[in-house]
Amino acid sequence: MKKSLLALAAISAFASAAQAQSSVTVYGILDVGYIGGSYNGTASAASTLTPNVGSTGSPIQKSQFSGMGQSAESTSRLGFRGTEDIGGGTKAFFTVELGMAPNSATELGTVNRQSFVGLGKAGLGEASIGTQYTPVFNLQAATDAAGNNNLVGNAVYATSPQSSTGALNNVGQGAFAGSVSNQSLNASTGAYTTRASNTLFLKSDRMAGFQLQASYAFSNSNQTDSATATYGINNGGTNNAVMAGVGADYQWQKLQVVAAYQQFKAQNQGGSAASTAATSTYAAGTSNSFGNNMVDNQSYAAATYDFGILKAYLQYVNRKGTSIYDGSYSTSRTAQQIGVRSQLTPVISAYATAGMGNAAYYGQSTPKNNFRTAQIGVDYYLSKRTNLYVAGGTFNQSSNGQAANTTTGAGIGISGTNYAAGIRHTF
């Protein structure tokens, strides 16, 4: 009897210890409210309202919209994260995060924002595999005065579609698989790639103020395809897609300095026909996609300093995509932005940003476009997890990256405003 009681007590103690060593957290954001805006430019770009990459379409004088919307300040989401202590200072962890559309007929969106599993060692760092944020996004999100909201007017975090017309913003790189035609510069909204799948991500513990991170992803396939070799279609052979990125975050007292670089490279060894098609497509000025043959370089640097009464932000982002077949065909985007955020009272905070940049497409024969952006917003915190907000943004772009044509609308300037008032709850 005593042995049975002792065995039962030992089992209970072991179960309690095991339960104490692992945990799962449900978290998320619900953001809803009133959203409005206006747009001047070409018809095909009106749905995105962002400093945009080479849109064409019939010119329109003005487009206005307003109504109840979602995800203006933060993209709505639902996530699960868990950790397990497996002894010796080592832990296992996972995260699954999905986009949400609270004003949609379908509550859960199809966007896989994050899904990964990994191991961590105290004093060393973490390693994880799955769909994850890129180094550029991680460090940009940590150094943005506006908190990466989904309104227009952010020169560095350029999102499309906007919260007024789409529910799941800045989805970033699509599935990093054998078909990689979405490697085009505009596939992930212009400024940089937010996330990538099939990714090994490494992050160190912070030491002497420094924290380092690196990511690597690849997907290679060898296939025989009898289809005629056309732009963006594999005509057999090896199709390779590789992504590599590094980032560094340094913090010293009230100063933070970050820098990151990442490269996406997709190459289809289909043959010379693909090169010819890509060249003719660019010459016609009808597409800004590099299909399956491009190198996409993205870099970011920023600094912040907390003066006490306000925190100042300085950001820089650069992106250039180049055709592997013909280096004279390229597209690039560069932007700079300054910002401030201040805690005006214990429950009221405010921010403002101003940015500028330029973009060029299809080689030197096409004029650059220059753009200006600005945002301002105020948050009123009802509690630690719930806040009301009012925010607005604006942009003005000199052209849409095409040769001027008043009939089609190509080459004309575009501009837009976006404003929102809503409630955001985090859990």
Confidence grade of residue 266 (pLDDT, cut at 50, 70, 90) = confident
Please indicate, yes or no, if residue 24 is contained in any of the structural domains.
no
Look at the chain and count its residues: 427
Higher pLDDT, 318 or 170: 318
Angstrom distances, CA of residue 379 to CA of 148, 235, 353, 409: 14, 53, 15, 39
The values of phi and psi at residue 165, to 5°, are -120, -15
Q: pTM value?
A: 0.80
CATH code for the domain in which residue 340 is found: 2.40.160
Tally of structural domains, the chain: 1
Tokens standing for residue 426: 């985090």
Higher pLDDT, 336 or 55: 336
Residues 204-224, mean pLDDT to the nearest whole number? 84
> Which amino acid would we find at residue 232?
G
Reply yes or no: is the peptide bond before residue 135 cis, omega within 30 of 0.
no
Mean pLDDT of the chain: 74
* pLDDT value, residue 26: 96
Query: How far, in Å, CA of 323 to CA of 329, rounded?
Result: 6
Secondary structure class of 383 (helix, strand, coil): coil
Residues 27-38, mean pLDDT to the nearest whole number? 90
Confidence grade of residue 57 (pLDDT, cut at 50, 70, 90) = very low
Q: How many CB atoms lie within 10 A of CB 66?
A: 12
- Could you tell me if 339 and 353 are in contact, meaning their C-beta atoms sit under 8 angstroms apart? yes
* pLDDT value, residue 323: 73
* pLDDT value, residue 362: 57
Q: Which of 115-119, 173-177, 326-330 has the lowest mean pLDDT?
A: 173-177
Confidence grade of residue 295 (pLDDT, cut at 50, 70, 90) = confident
- Could you tell me if 379 and 74 are in contact, meaning their C-beta atoms sit under 8 angstroms apart? no
Beta strand spans in 383-413 (E) = 386-397
* pLDDT value, residue 412: 63
Q: Is 218 exposed, middle or buried (0-12, 13-18, 19+ CB in 10 A)?
A: middle
- Say if residue 252's pLDDT is above 80: yes
The values of phi and psi at residue 197, to 5°, are -95, 175
Angstrom distances, CA of residue 366 to CA of 116, 184, 282, 285, 331: 42, 18, 11, 9, 10
Best CA proximity match to 368, nearest among 337, 335, 393: 335
- Say if residue 345's pLDDT is above 60: yes
* CA atoms lying within 13 Å on the CB side of residue 392: 7
> Which amino acid would we find at residue 348?
I
Query: How far, in Å, CA of 129 to CA of 116, rounded?
Result: 5
Domain that holds residue 110: 77-156+169-381
Confidence grade of residue 21 (pLDDT, cut at 50, 70, 90) = low
Q: How many CB atoms lie within 10 A of CB 144?
A: 22
Beta strand spans in 348-413 (E) = 348-360, 369-381, 386-397
Please indicate, yes or no, if residue 387 is contained in any of the structural domains.
no
Please indicate, yes or no, if residue 237 is contained in any of the structural domains.
yes
Please indicate, yes or no, if residue 25 is contained in any of the structural domains.
no
Angstrom distances, CA of residue 228 to CA of 16, 54, 315, 329: 63, 28, 45, 23
Best CA proximity match to 289, nearest among 179, 394, 158, 201: 179
Confidence grade of residue 215 (pLDDT, cut at 50, 70, 90) = very high
Tokens standing for residue 91: 């832990």
Please indicate, yes or no, if residue 55 is contained in any of the structural domains.
no
Secondary structure class of 17 (helix, strand, coil): helix
Max avg pLDDT among 159-168, 282-291, 309-318: 309-318
What would the pLDDT profile of 356-394 be if each residue is shown by its tens digit?
Answer: 988 776 554 555 678 889 999 999 999 999 999 999 998
* CA atoms lying within 13 Å on the CB side of residue 158: 35
What would the pLDDT profile of 72-81 be if each residue is shown by its tens digit?
Answer: 899 888 999 9
Please indicate, yes or no, if residue 53 is contained in any of the structural domains.
no
Please indicate, yes or no, if residue 386 is contained in any of the structural domains.
no
Query: How far, in Å, CA of 377 to CA of 420, rounded?
Result: 9
Please indicate, yes or no, if residue 48 is contained in any of the structural domains.
no
Confidence grade of residue 179 (pLDDT, cut at 50, 70, 90) = very low
Residues 174-178, mean pLDDT to the nearest whole number? 28
- Could you tell me if 294 and 321 are in contact, meaning their C-beta atoms sit under 8 angstroms apart? yes
Q: Which of 83-92, 155-164, 340-349 has the lowest mean pLDDT?
A: 155-164
Residues 6+ apart with CB under 8 A from 7: none
Secondary structure class of 41 (helix, strand, coil): strand
* pLDDT value, residue 407: 46
